[in-house]
Structures are given as structure tokens and as C-alpha cells.
Amino acid sequence: MSTQKKIAQKLGVSTATVSRTLNDLPGVSDDMRAQILKAANELEYSPNLPARSHVTSVTPTVAFVVHETNHVASEDPFYPVIMAGAQAYLAERNYHILLTTLDDRTLERPQAFSVVSQKRVDGLILAGPEISTSFILALQSAGIPVVLVDNCLSQTPINCVLNDDEGGAYQVTQHLLGHGHNRIAFLSGPREWASNRERARGYENALREAGMEPLIVYGSRTTIETGQAMMREAIDRWPDLTAVFGVNDSVAIGAMRSASELGRHTPDDLACFGFDDISWAALNQPTLSTVHVFKRRIGQLAAQCLLDSIAQPEAAPARTTVAAKMVLRASCGHIN
């Protein structure tokens, strides 16, 4: 019998209710959600995911966890800067930080996550939207202090530190509208990623306030390559585009490359914006207009939140949002 069926049988609820809880979907009461998460830990995770010990570690250590596709060697140097901010904060408080990567196999089997099962760390900073809901809930139900970065759960309260993605995207779209653009495409990543949803929402809100329909292309990832592919699709669907807004800088850089190959040069024929303000944005030609994310500050706040959670395990989860700042460079064509 599957774990979900065992939980449903134990609590007298449907497997659909259990599934909705374990996937952080709405339609389940707070009380029942808590009971299901507790039962999930008791039935599946507790033998291999030990509950948090309240004994202070000899060598205090926390883990900074990213999916293997977001390792420091990736094309998008975003999470390493966040980790640097966390590391600086932790070092001042005599804590060590351990960089750990997750593959899809471990995401499917959280009980095999060695840094937890071997009690090597006191808590975890889980960075990035690729870390699945089921994995996060498995750790949380085992009582392990966790803080999410660039990710959140919509139904289950949990510590998280986020950028103001919706506000930043709204500001960019308003800027483009204010400079006469009325055909603005948004190149997004997967719909299920929290930051993508928030950035798309900001873009959509600005367009709808102006009485315009959103033009959105979704990709499987947020890389230069997917940006190139999405730009080709956008130009094919809407050949009268005057501006493009990439969900991150890598997507925007890829979009400019494809547009140029198709004879649409930035910024003369096509204004372009990214998001995140990674180091490559200022080095690109033309330099990329973007939204600056205060990555080191996010890392500092995540570390602070985690240490607070370790010290006070019964404290209510905190959701912290860091303001973003629009940065105008050559690619938008109107920096004044």
C-alpha cells in the first residue's frame, strides 16, 4: 500500500486530500493539513529523517542547498551571490556553511538526503524553485529548520525570503509602456516556479491596467538557450513586437541573440529587459537593462531567519520580501 493510501486510511480522508496536502494545493483545512503532514513523517520519513535535536552542535553548520542545475558553475551566477551573503552573516556568528546540490533522484527520495539523515547540519537554506514541494514538506514535517530562497509554498506556512518579483516586473512594464511600447512580450520559465508566476503577474497587471493583452511564451528552463527558442517563437507569433521582457537575464540575453539573427537588433528594432542583474548583464553588448535583485541581502536575511528558527523552533514562520530596483542600460533604448 502506498504512503498516501496509508495516511488516508489512518486519518479517514480521501487519497485526493492527502495528495493535495503533500503537493501544497488548496482545498484542505489547516488542521487537517497539519495532521496529514505529521502522519507523512511518522509513516515514511521519520526512520531516515531524524527530528531536530535540541543539543547544540560542537561545530555549528548549516547547508545551502541548490538543485544541481543551479550549481556555482552554471551560466547564471545568481545563487552563489546569495550564498556569499549567507556565509558572511553566519561566519560572524561562528557558523559554517556547507554547499550541497540535489539531483532529481534525491528530490524523489528525501529520506536519502545524506546531510540530514547523517545529522551533519543544524538547518537548511533551500534555494531555487526546482526544489520540489514534496521534498520541502518532507523536511518540514520531520522538524528540520528550513528557509526557502527564491521559492515559497502557497498553502503551507514556511520560512522564506523572496525578492519583490511582482513589483519589479510591474515597474519594468510600466517603463516600457511609458515609452510608447504597446506590443511587449514576456518570456517566462515554467509556470509552476514561484518567481516566474510573480514576475508574470507584475507584467500582466501593468498591461491590463493599460487595456492591453499579455503576450507570454513559456519555456522549460530559464537559460540562454531557452531564451533563444522563446524569442523565435515570440517573433513568429507576434511579428510586430517592439519590446521583450525576459524573466531573467539569461533568457533576455538569449532573446537578444535570436532577435539579432532574425534581423531585429537591440535596441534600434527591439527594446529588451531582463531580471536579476547578474554580472553578465553589464558586460553584455548592448548592456542589458534589468531589475537588480539584492542577492547578498537576501542571503543575509535567509541566514538570520534560519538561525532564529534553530534557536526558537516553535516560532511562527516568517515571509520576508526584499525590494527590487530597476536598472536602465543600453538595451532598452531610452535610459532618460
Q: What is the pLDDT along the chain (336 residues), one digit of tens a residue?
A: 667 777 777 777 887 887 777 777 777 777 777 777 767 766 654 434 544 444 445 459 999 999 987 654 455 578 999 999 999 999 999 999 999 999 988 888 887 788 887 788 999 999 999 998 989 998 888 889 999 999 999 888 999 999 999 999 999 999 999 999 999 999 999 998 999 999 999 999 999 999 999 999 999 999 999 999 999 999 999 999 999 999 999 999 999 999 999 999 999 999 999 999 998 899 999 999 999 999 999 999 999 999 999 999 889 999 999 999 999 999 998 764
> Do both 83 and 110 map to the same domain?
yes
Looking at the structure, tell me whether residues 77 and 144 fall in a common domain: yes
Asked if residue 181 is part of any domain, the answer here is yes
Distance CA 225, CA 257 (A): 10
**Cell numbers 542545475 label which residue?**
69
Q: Can you tell me the distance from the alpha carbon of 185 to that of 203, in angstroms, rounded to the nearest whole number?
A: 9
Same-domain check for residues 242 and 171: yes
Q: What is the CATH number of the domain that holds 203?
A: 3.40.50.2300
Residues 6+ apart with CB under 8 A from 304: 89
Taking the C-alpha atoms of residue 287 and residue 280, their distance in angstroms, rounded to an integer, is 9
Please name which of 183, 278, 277, 187 lies closest in space to residue 239, comparing C-alpha atoms.
183
- Asked whether residue 92 falls in the same domain as residue 233, the answer is no
CA angle 81, 71, 165 (to 5 degrees): 50
Would you say residue 54 lies in a domain? no
Q: How far apart are CA 274 and CA 292, in angstroms?
A: 9
Do the domain assignments include residue 317? Answer: yes
How far apart are alpha carbons 266 and 330 in whole angstroms?
9
Same domain as 169, residue 126: no
CA distance 125 to 139: 12
Q: How many CB atoms lie within 10 A of CB 184?
A: 24
**pTM to 2 decimals?**
0.84
DSSP state of 53: P
229 and 199 share one domain: yes
Contact 22, 5 (CB under 8 A): no
Strand order in 271-273's β-sheet?
215-218, 184-188, 243-246, 271-273
Torsion angle (degrees, nearest 10) of CA 171, 177, 179, 182: 150
265 shares its domain with 301: no
Domain count of the fold of the chain: 3
Residue 55 falls within a domain, yes or no? Answer: no
41: domain CATH number? 1.10.260.40
> For residue 50, is it within any domain?
no
Cell numbers linked to 198: 510573480
Please check whether residue 52 lies inside any domain of the structure.
no
Residue 68 sits in the same domain as residue 126: yes
CB atoms within 10 A of CB 232: 17
Pairing of strands 61-67, 124-127: parallel
In a domain, 152, yes or no: yes
Residues β-bridged to residue 290:
327
Render pLDDT for 221-238 as a digit per residue (tens, 0 to 9): 999 999 999 999 999 999
The reply to whether 236 and 187 lie within a common domain is yes
Phi, psi of 273 (to 5 degrees): -130, 150
Residues 258 and 169 in one domain: yes
Tell me the C-alpha to C-alpha distance, in Å, between residue 111 and each of 45, 53, 55: 6, 17, 22
Check whether residue 205 and residue 216 sit in a common domain: yes
Q: Cα(103)–Cα(85) distance, rounded to whole angstroms?
A: 24
Question: Kind and range of the H or E element at 216?
Answer: strand 215-218
Do 102 and 72 fall into the same domain? yes
DSSP alpha helices (H): ranges in the chain?
3-11, 15-22, 30-40, 79-91, 104-108, 114-117, 133-141, 165-178, 194-209, 224-237, 249-261, 279-283, 295-311
DSSP 330: G
Q: Identify the domain containing residue 26 by its residue range.
A: 3-45
51 found inside a domain = no
